[in-house]
Amino acid sequence: MEDLKSQPNCLNLDYVYKFGKYKGISLRDVIGFNCQYVNWCVNNVDGFVLTSHAEMFLFDMIDLNEDKGMGDVDFYDESFWEMQY
C-alpha cells in the first residue's frame, strides 16, 4: 500500500485555501495564526491531506501555542485585536 504522504495531491505549505473563512490565504499563514483550524480540516475535510513537511510544521505550531498557553486563539479574527486594549 502506497504511503499517502508521498502522493502528489497532498497539500504543501504553499497551498491556498479555496474554501471557508480563510479562502485565498496560504496554508503556511493559516497554520501561523490558527493552527487548530488546520488541524480541524485535516480531521474533518475529505481529501485534506498534508505533506509530511506541512504536517510537521502544523504539529510544531500546535505544540508552541500550547506551551505559550495560546490554545485556540484566532489571530486573524479582527475581534481578537479589538479586545486587547
**37-82, pLDDT tens digit by residue?**
999 999 999 999 999 999 999 999 888 877 665 555 555 555 544 5
Residue in 37, 17, 41 with CA at minimum distance from that of residue 27? 17
Residue 27: predicted pLDDT: 96
Which residue(s) pair with 50 in the sheet? 11
Angstrom distances, CA of residue 73 to CA of 42, 47, 61: 18, 25, 12
Confidence category of residue 33, pLDDT binned at 50, 70, 90: confident
d(CA 33, CA 17): 14
What are the grid coordinates assigned to 20, written together? Answer: 471557508
Count of domains for the chain: 1
Q: What is the pTM of this model?
A: 0.69
- For 35, the domain range is 4-83
Residue 76: predicted pLDDT: 52
Rounded to an integer, the average pLDDT of 15-26 is 93
